Amino acid sequence: MVFVLTALINMRGVLAAMKKKSNLATLVLLVVILCSTSVTHSQVSLTPLTAAEIKRFMFDRLFTGEYPNGLRWSERFNRDLTSTYSESGQILEGIMRLDGDLICFSYPDSIDSFGGCFQVWKRGNNCFDFYSSQSLAGVFDRRFGRAWQARAWNADEPSTCFSDKIG
């Protein structure tokens, strides 16, 4: 709401300037402001999900996802803090825990011992970005959905993630 009000106030100032002086620079400024107001709050999360939101949005659901290299995976997040992970035909039983607002995964039977702790950022009605607690991605990248380590969506609903790899 604050974003929309700010945009309207800025728009009013631009329109007033256009009345006084109509030129190409003013028109370009108007287009830039209009384009910047087209991003809705549901598309960009300003903060990571809390532990309660992670439980509400993700538990008792099957998620399909991808890594930045395009490799696809799926995982069922169970309310009892277990999970079933699948990638390239391999299935692993996992254990999850919530550590503050991080969700942490471990896979005791994995030879490669992968997993880790992640912040989760909601990108739309059905799109979630995972950022490793070890990630060097800054707040700006996280707020705008860049430099994620994994991206996922509820497999029972249409994905709202935007990626050239999803399809």
Domain 51-154 is found in CATH 3.40.605.10: no
Closest CA to 60 of 155, 163, 164, 165: 155
Instruction: Report the range of poorest mean pLDDT among 32-36, 56-60, 140-144.
Output: 32-36
Burial class (CB in 10 A: 0-12, 13-18, 19+), 92: buried
pLDDT of residue 59 exceeding 90: yes
More confident residue, 76 or 44: 76
- pLDDT for the residue 23: 53
Going from N- to C-terminal start, the domains of the chain cover 2-36, 51-154
**Beta partners for residue 115, in sequence order:** 106
Q: What is the pLDDT of the chain when averaged over all its residues? A: 79
pLDDT-derived band of residue 31, with 50, 70 and 90 as boundaries? very low
- pLDDT for the residue 45: 61
- Exposure b/e, 145-159, CB count within 10 A at least 16 = b: beebbbbbbbeeeeb
- Exposure b/e, 115-134, CB count within 10 A at least 16 = b: bebbbbbbbbebbbbbbeee
DSSP H stretches of helix in 102-165: 139-143
